[in-house]
Structure 1
Amino acid sequence: MMTDDLRIRQVDAGAARDTRRVEAIVRLANEVYAAAETGMWQPGTARTDVEEIAAAIGSGEIVVAERGDRLVGVVRIGSTERAGWFGMLAVHEAERGTGTGRRLVETAERLLLRPGIDDILLEVLTPVDESNASKRELDRWYRRMDYVYLRDDDFADHRPDLAARLATRCVFRIYHKPLPVPQAANRALPGLSASGRESRHQES
């Protein structure tokens, strides 16, 4: 049984220059997604890279979960004019079933809660043939967290460059969750990007 020493925090923008930290986040995300998206991508396709993660940290978009000095989870957050979003949710295999993923999502929601943001959007890359068991379970998990299915978008319409590297046709499954009206004490921490979507497929 794991002790409750989990710490979740938004990574300081200055850590974008910390090569070891950036590489640790890249490694965790790529390992988790390689297992979760087996058969969806051509061999050798990585979920993310050092350049992308360093830029995201610099924009205040990375939240991590740690036990002691061990990185055990990560999620990326950001916002557009009216909606927040999160993606790249990755949790170490040893943390499955401990609530770490849920706590990362709840932290993301809390950080995005501020005036003008009334909705959270989520895109889950999903094979059209529904063949991936991890994605089916993820669908059930997000619904239990009150995320509502909106529609399917063709992934190629969003990212034609990456679509060419898919091993099977996929869609972005779009979910959303309305946010409560924020109180002043619950506003997001400073440093969140209001400009960006993920440069890779955005999902958990």
Structure 2
Amino acid sequence: MIRTMRLSDYPALRNLWAGFPGTAVTAADEPDGFAAFLERNGPHCLVAVEDGRLVGSVMAGHDTRRGYIYHLAVSTDMQGRGTGRALMEEVERSLLKAGIEKIHLFIYVDNPARCFYERLGWQYRTDIAVMSKILRKPGMV
């Protein structure tokens, strides 16, 4: 069963993400950051539950122009059973319903799930590169 993510899912999600290669858990994923993301993007944050156990997740958000996928993770024992595909299809539907027609996904270069995403119709881009900058509040080192 796929349902919308809840704040109460946080402990199970952290455990899932911590044991999932290719998922970067950062300070933004601490409880306050998680709650803020969920408040803003709730309809696009989903979990898969099997026999009362959280077995998969996907988080997504958008800036009104483009959607962004974060933290697709499926427990090892549920991989290969359609859980990841179902989560991705449902989050794509939710973003399309919100008027988002193009979505991006950032993965590590060596992420073994790249072929999974390609099977779902995602295209690896060679024409763009990602640049990042860490912003700090005044007084922070």
For this structure pair, what is the TM-score category when the shorter chain's length is used for normalisation? 0.7 to 0.9
Offset at 1:112?
A: 0.6
Give matches, 1:107-146, under 5 Å.
107-114=90-97, 116-126=99-109, 132=110, 135=111, 137-146=112-121
Cα root mean square deviation, aligned: 2.3
8 Å contact from structure 1 (residues 10, 64) kept in 2: yes
Q: Relative contact order: is structure 1 or structure 2 higher (C-alpha 8 Å, sep ≥ 6)?
A: 1
Deviation at 1:114, TM superposition (A): 2.8
- The structure that is strand-richer by fraction is 1
Distance of 2:16 and 2:133 partners within structure 1: 23
State the AA in 1 paired with 2:125: L
Give the secondary structure class of the aligned counterpart of 2:80: coil
Quick one: distance in 1 between partners of 2:33 and 2:39? 10
- 1:150 match: 125
TM-aligned CA deviation for residue 87 of structure 1: 1.6
Gaps of 5+ in 2: 136-141
- Matching residue of 1:90: 73
Q: Specify the structure having the higher radius of gyration (Cα).
A: 1
Identity within the alignment, %: 30
Which consecutive aligned stretches of 4+ in structure 1 deviate over 3 angstroms post-superposition?
45-48
TM-score by length of 1: 0.56
How many angstroms apart in 1 are the aligned matches of 2:38 and 2:124?
29
- 1:57 pairs with 2:56: no
- Corresponding residue SS for 2:108: strand
Q: 5+ residue gaps in structure 1?
A: 1-6, 39-44, 127-131, 162-204
